[in-house]
Structure 1
């Protein structure tokens, strides 16, 4: 039966402000998009539901940049540059950035302190005079045929409206695009999405005694399950040290519904149950870790504000990046950045990684501008995990490195469209590419692969 409905009385909504560019979502894509647009001289507003920036990297406690690097013919290179480099430098100046570490013997990731990330992101946006509206949850749009007229947001001051010439959806869930009527897909189109996780951090570890515990923990997990003392929702666990060896980040968890399918990040009831179950799983993982040498006196120092969501809506644009593109290290004439992360699929009970051939391949695929431009809406761009990708392609290019690259391109494209009095779909991509390269971004194509880590 249909749910009961309530007729909401018509009301006048206060106009919060008028901008040239409005960005919804303050994760890596949103940070880069807002900075890029403001850097080009455009009045820019970044809208974020929490009181801090970083997206899943802070709100879900990920504490780890993936996809900044690529394994290029067997050698590691940091292939995501530009605005990401500026942000990382600011985190590093706060002594909040780890050296890159090896994952699966094949690719680098880079851990950071979440407090340093939040502070550095604030500083970066302030330096480029980006307006920020925190504690504002996107709630809908008012359309003018194929254009978004205003974005509605819910705040402690009530509902307010934001008007902009161009909007950029960096919500992660494709909220803005969906409200505007852009076509999208959800998960694998058969009801399955990648499983969420509840990350957490431990303190009080004895670093000398713990040593390289991440190498020994898998065998200890198998032994504990065989003995019947512990059960784990997924096989592949992440237990790695932060900047200070006494603090480690942990992810043992996987959140499923009663039927075994993944908890949906766009269903509030499922999210509610997922949050509660995630904390329960975190405590169970912690109880096991207390049996690991070096962790006997550890304690949970942080459970993040929300569950870590990997996949919900994927908005359909002019091109959908595929798993074949990732594994084949695809090139595109309209490339605006690159992704060096492999396919990372969170399936029932496990995590599977699929890499391009190593060391035979260059280890990264290019990201086409068309994946940032949705079908049917003239003044909207999207960047981040909700960009135009297949289920398999998104398993790779959803990570922070590619999100930074997409965001910088989207913000730059919005500024170009405004400068040329055109819509984002019709900008001169060659001019966008030239501008990105001049600003220090690596887009592949004919550029030399950046040296260093």
Structure 2
């Protein structure tokens, strides 16, 4: 019988560089983590697998910021401030930011142009002198003594290279860096099934006058098409909304599953391969249906994104796991580093189910504890974004871009504080981190007045 493994010869790996802070992953958490660490004067490198920033927001074509806003006692408020405000202003300056729009009559989201997001993110990092390495895929770590990461291995067009840092921040979305370093993790619900992914698409050539508020009538048209047997849909809750220009609309219509009906697992290569192909098939079917909707008859697909939109894979276990009860109960924490105003968004078989805190009776947001950024078992590592320490239900809410901005800014600031005090991130004075974040314009909850306006 042939061996099922191959021994790779030992080799000397070139050292790409040495930094104080290295961030893996250029999504919303990674963008602001790198920028906030560099703003504090730390030599910072951001490593990203693609040639652009934005994470699922650009690579998966999400084109919509969720979680920037909350419903506070019945009033819509933009809760996520700080460095996210700088990024939003840059996107808006490029004429790439929509006005916030209401979701389910309860909470706001805000659409953007993906090209503007990419450019604005470049500008933000350049303004803080962040070093960037694009087209570099994380491939493993070399551990040092005392539960510390010595180096991160990356694969580039120049071959395998190593990057050293004093503190690493895992913003990979999948928790890759943390898992390679030995941090414990979970995947999915109690049965190991993650949230379903989706393949986004954008259409152009829509007649905005004839289309009108088509997002209100499309669900009824879907029901009629299903009853007539002319179309089948992978899920009930379709999102079809206009971009900045009314002739271009974004479409979130798909739900990608394995043959057994469970969600594609985004850290299994064969699953990802099948998911990409199935996602495009579903996107084409959605487009063919939408061409029957008034105003969409002459539309065409202007963009299928570079990758499938992954909502959940690994969640790293840290000092605290944010839970669904925390979200619905609007929990407070002594070590809060910001807030999340997005509800639980459960992608269940064939549908999307939103569960909100009581509205308008409650303040509508939960605080996010610093402990969820600090993984167990690794001393010079922080984790921010959708792979931070949360339960399946908690992650169903706090995985969105608003909460990722919050976690990223806190992680970058915490790394800088740890370096300035010669401490590991787990042992920094949280009160000093909170004061730093407030000085930078972030809203962390606690005893602060709630921001005003959208």
TM-score, normalised by the number of residues in structure 1: 0.99
Deviation at 1:189, TM superposition (A): 3.6
Alignment of 1:334-373 (within 5 A): 334-373=335-374
- In the alignment of these two chains, the number of paired residues is 453
Instruction: Give the corresponding residue for 2:316.
Output: 315
Report whether the alignment pairs 1:99 with 2:103.
no
SS where residue 99 of structure 2 aligns?
coil
- Name the residue aligned to 1:387: 388
How far is 1:191 from its partner? 2.4
Whether 2:241 is the aligned partner of 1:237: answer no
Question: Which residue number in structure 2 is paired with residue 218 of structure 1?
Answer: 219
Aligned to 2:34: 34
Q: Which residue in the other structure is 1:428 paired with?
A: 429
SS in structure 2 opposite 1:70?
Answer: strand
Give the 3 Å change call, closer, same or farther, for CA 64–164 of structure 1 in structure 2. Answer: same
Secondary structure of the residue that 2:241 maps to in structure 1?
A: strand
Specify every segment of 5 or more residues in structure 1 that has no aligned partner in the other structure, as ranges: none
Q: Write the deviation string for residues 195-226 of structure 1: whole angstroms up to 9, x where unpaired.
A: 00000000000000000000000000000010
Aligned equivalents of 1:252, 1:93: Cα separation in 2: 30
Could you tell me which residue of structure 2 aligns to residue 163 of structure 1? 164
Aligned to 2:126: 126
Report the CA distance between 1:3 and its aligned residue. Answer: 7.5
* Alpha-carbon separation, structure 1, partners of 2:188 and 2:2: 25
User: In structure 1, how many angstroms separate the alpha carbons of the residues matched to 2:284 and 2:367?
Assistant: 40
* CA distance in 2 between partners of 1:3 and 1:97 (Å): 55
Paired residues for 1:183-194 under 5 Å: 183-194=184-195
Instruction: State the distance in 2 between where 1:374 and 1:382 align.
Output: 7
Q: Is 1:268–2:269 an aligned residue pair? A: yes
**SS at 1:246's partner residue?**
coil
1:2 Cα deviation from its structure 2 partner: 11
- In 2, Cα distance between equivalents of 1:431 and 1:285: 50
For the residue of structure 2 that corresponds to 1:344, the secondary structure is strand
Q: How does 1:57-136 map to 2 (within 5 A)?
A: 57-136=57-136
Report the alpha carbon displacement of residue 330 of structure 1 after superposing the two structures with TM. 0.2
> Aligned pair 1:247/2:248, yes or no?
yes
Q: 1:125 to 1:247 in 2, by over 3 A?
A: same
**CA RMSD after TM alignment:** 0.9
CA distance in 2, matches of 1:205, 1:70: 31
1 CA distance for matches of 2:132 and 2:347? 33
TM-score by length of 2: 0.99
Aligned to 1:377: 378
CA distance in structure 2 between the aligned counterparts of 1:115 and 1:252, rounded to whole angstroms = 22
Q: Structure 1: how far apart are the matches of 2:67 and 2:298?
A: 33
Over 2 Å off, 4+ runs? none
CA distance in 2, matches of 1:405, 1:128: 18
CA distance in 1, matches of 2:231, 2:183: 45
Secondary structure in 2 matching 1:433:
helix
Unaligned runs of 5+ in 2: none
| Residues 345-402 of structure 1: per-residue CA shift (max 9 Å, x gap) | 1011000000000000000000000000000000000000000000000000000000
